[in-house]
Amino acid sequence: MPARLRDAPITRRQFDAWGATALGIALLGLLLGLLLGPREGWFARDVLSAFAVALVFAMLFIVQERRHPEPVVHLQFFRNVHFSAAVLSVFFQNMVMYSTLILMPQFLQIVQQRSATESGLMLALMSGTSALLAPLGGALSDWRGRRLPVVIGAALGLIGVSMQALLQTITPIWWIGAGLTLGGLGLGLSGAAMQTTALEAFSADLSGVAAGLYSTMRYLGSTLGTALIAIALAGDSSNVAGYDRAFS
């Protein structure tokens, strides 16, 4: 074993078990309330109880994170404007992206009666363009700064989402493909710049914590997006009105 690795000092950190537990229960209560609401009614006892549990444990989580020397989530990070903008952007970006990945195949196959092949090709337009544009987005970020690819990507993504909001039963396939392509272009161009912005907001010794919090917000966005799709469809994937609510 290299001496540099063998002799490296081991820093023992105190894991914030109570904070992690409170966060998990708060998120579980929130998701449970969102999923039960459309089925049992938003003022049903079980739904209100789930939201109450989420609220109480969210407050306990905030108190715990402010007290613990090694918190699960460094709340003071959100005081940094650049970091907050980056993590909120990736939160909403992933919420929209995962909602689209779940909702679009059902819309195409159930509502428009298209084949699974057509559905897969439409999703490939978004994921494929995102993968192709990601290296360009990173290079553009290094060349012209972080702001330009984020602004261009956000504009393209907004146009793509707006096109999805106008979907109807008779919407032509080229319109759907164009919207998904624009969304993929936006994801590819802005992804690297947003993550770099989040990591550059703090010193190198805090970059790992910043990266972890950035990933947490990304996963929370995808989780919330999935729950909102379930609410919009209200348990009936054949309900055309549900797709109208989801896309809007």
* CATH architecture of the region 80-247: Up-down Bundle (1.20)
- pLDDT of 231 strictly over 90: no
| Average pLDDT score over residue span 132-156 | 88
More confident residue, 152 or 237: 152
What's the mean pLDDT when you consider all of the chain?
A: 83
- pLDDT of 68 strictly over 90: no
| Average pLDDT score over residue span 198-225 | 84
| Average pLDDT score over residue span 34-41 | 82
| Average pLDDT score over residue span 91-118 | 87
Please report the pLDDT score of residue 219 as a whole number: 86
At 245, is the pLDDT very low, low, confident or very high (cuts 50, 70, 90)?
A: low
Please report the pLDDT score of residue 59 as a whole number: 94
Tens digits of residue pLDDT in 9-29: 445 567 788 888 998 999 899
- pLDDT of 52 strictly over 90: yes
Please report the pLDDT score of residue 243 as a whole number: 55
Angstrom distance (rounded) from CA 237 to CA 109:
11
Torsion of CA 53, 54, 60, 63, to 10 degrees: -160
Residues 69-73: contacts with CB within 8 Å, 24+ apart?
69/14, 70/13, 70/14, 70/15, 70/16, 71/16, 71/19, 72/16, 72/19, 72/20, 72/23, 73/19, 73/23, 73/213, 73/216
Helix (H, G, I), strand (E, B) or coil at 9: coil
> Where are the domains positioned within the chain?
1-73, 80-247
Angstrom distance (rounded) from CA 214 to CA 219:
9
Please report the pLDDT score of residue 240 as a whole number: 54
| Average pLDDT score over residue span 146-153 | 88
| Average pLDDT score over residue span 117-123 | 90
- Residue 234: phi and psi, rounded to 5, are 55, 40
Share of the chain above pLDDT 70, in %: 88
